């Protein structure tokens, strides 16, 4: 249920979006949990089932057993492979169709913004994308489905078909730098927008979580939709404590009404 305070916040955010010249949406795990993908840190998340040390780049590179564990994780990764966009993803894609979205900056690795209809060129994935596998030797990239099809049932982790190098999910492990191009583009857009809307992120994982601060320091408005408090709440113009799907569905519906009214 949405209460009166939440409704007021939703209307304020919609008004900000309708007036803005350039809107950036920043998304975190709270957007994807409604698609059945557990938060890595929450109950039932990845870190309750796996040792986080197995997701360090050093361990991955030096331990064949760690690579086998990773491969078993990918083979059993139905929450990622079978997930479908939810109301929050669809609402963000609708913002793009309405001409109100500059880009999406996301911490998520599930490809659901693209599945919902956002232009992949407008989605900057700071932590990578689980649907791709990359060779650490020659840089060749493979769709995850292709690697699974070729290697399902094999006991060892697969290797690159071009150079026999180590294959790794194209996501950021602990100890790795964020992808340079995505980080540069995301930082530029955060500094150039006049509204940043952060949705479903605890804003505690850096350097990704700097994006709302960059936007605010550059003079943009900052709105936050999240169920729990974040470190950026103190500088936000509007905060809505609600689930991402419900809040974004209502926000975008209100944006549509405002835009339709302005054209009448």
Residue 163 above 90 pLDDT? yes
Looking at the fold, whether 1 and 100 belong to one and the same domain comes out as yes
Looking at the fold, whether 70 and 3 belong to one and the same domain comes out as no
Looking at the fold, whether 32 and 136 belong to one and the same domain comes out as no
Residue 52 above 60 pLDDT? yes
Task: Give the SS3 label for residue 259.
Answer: helix
- State the residue for tokens 């609600």: 242
- Mean pLDDT on 185-194: 98
Name the average pLDDT for the chain.
90
- Mean pLDDT on 51-77: 81
Domain final residue, candidates 118, 143, 171: 171
Looking at the fold, whether 43 and 19 belong to one and the same domain comes out as no
Q: Which of 113, 127, 162, 189 is catalytic?
A: 127
Looking at the fold, whether 122 and 226 belong to one and the same domain comes out as yes
Q: Is the dihedral of CA 116, 121, 125, 128 positive or negative?
A: positive
Query: pTM to 2 decimals?
Result: 0.91
Looking at the fold, whether 223 and 149 belong to one and the same domain comes out as no
Residue 127 is among the residues annotated as catalytic for this protein: yes
The pLDDT score that the predictor gives to residue 147 is 87
Looking at the fold, whether 253 and 218 belong to one and the same domain comes out as yes
Looking at the fold, whether 46 and 161 belong to one and the same domain comes out as yes
Indicate the Cα dihedral angle 242, 243, 245, 249, nearest 10°.
-10
Name the residue range of residue 72's domain: 38-82+130-171
Looking at the fold, whether 48 and 100 belong to one and the same domain comes out as no
Looking at the fold, whether 216 and 144 belong to one and the same domain comes out as no
Percent of the chain whose pLDDT exceeds 70: 92
Measured CA to CA, the distance from residue 180 to residue 170 in angstroms comes to: 13
Cβ burial 137-176 (10 Å sphere, 16+ → b, else e): eeeeebebeebbeebeeeeebbebeeeebbbbbbbbbeeb
Q: List, in sequence order, every residue forming a beta bridge with 128; answer none if it has no partner.
A: 171
Looking at the fold, whether 212 and 257 belong to one and the same domain comes out as yes
* CATH number of domain containing 89: 3.40.50.1220
Q: Please, are residues 89 and 113 in contact by the beta-carbon 8 Å criterion?
A: yes
Residue 49 above 60 pLDDT? no
The pLDDT score that the predictor gives to residue 149 is 86
Looking at the fold, whether 48 and 150 belong to one and the same domain comes out as yes
**Count of domains observed in the chain:** 2
> Which range, 81-90, 140-149, 219-228, is most confident?
219-228
Kindly report, residue by residue over 83-95, the tens digit of the pLDDT.
899 999 999 999 9
């Amino acid at each position: 249920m949405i209460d009166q305070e939440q409704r007021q916040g939703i209307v304020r955010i919609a008004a900000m979006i309708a007036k803005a010249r350039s809107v950036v949406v920043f998304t975190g795990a709270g957007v994807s949990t409604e698609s059945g993908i557990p938060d890595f840190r929450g109950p039932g998340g990845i870190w309750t089932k796996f040792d986080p040390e197995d997701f360090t780049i050093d361990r991955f590179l030096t331990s064949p057993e760690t690579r086998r564990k990773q491969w078993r994780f990918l083979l059993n990764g139905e929450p990622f492979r079978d997930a479908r966009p939810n109301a929050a993803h669809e609402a963000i894609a609708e913002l793009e169709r309405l001409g109100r979205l500059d880009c999406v900056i996301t911490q998520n690795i599930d490809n659901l913004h693209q599945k919902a209809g956002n232009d992949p060129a407008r989605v900057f994935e700071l932590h990578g994308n689980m649907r791709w596998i990359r060779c650490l030797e020659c840089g060749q990239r493979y769709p995850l489905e292709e690697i699974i099809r070729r290697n399902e049932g094999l006991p060892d982790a697969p290797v690159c078909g071009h150079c026999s190098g180590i294959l790794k999910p194209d996501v950021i492990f602990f100890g790795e730098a964020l992808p340079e191009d995505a980080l540069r583009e995301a930082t530029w857009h955060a500094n150039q927008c006049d509204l940043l809307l952060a949705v479903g992120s605890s804003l505690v994982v850096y350097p990704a979580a700097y994006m709302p601060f960059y936007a605010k320091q550059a003079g943009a408005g900052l709105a936050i939709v999240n169920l729990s408090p974040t470190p950026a709440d103190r500088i936000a113009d509007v905060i809505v404590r609600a689930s991402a799907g419900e809040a974004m569905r209502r926000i975008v519906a209100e944006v549509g009404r405002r835009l339709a009214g302005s054209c009448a």
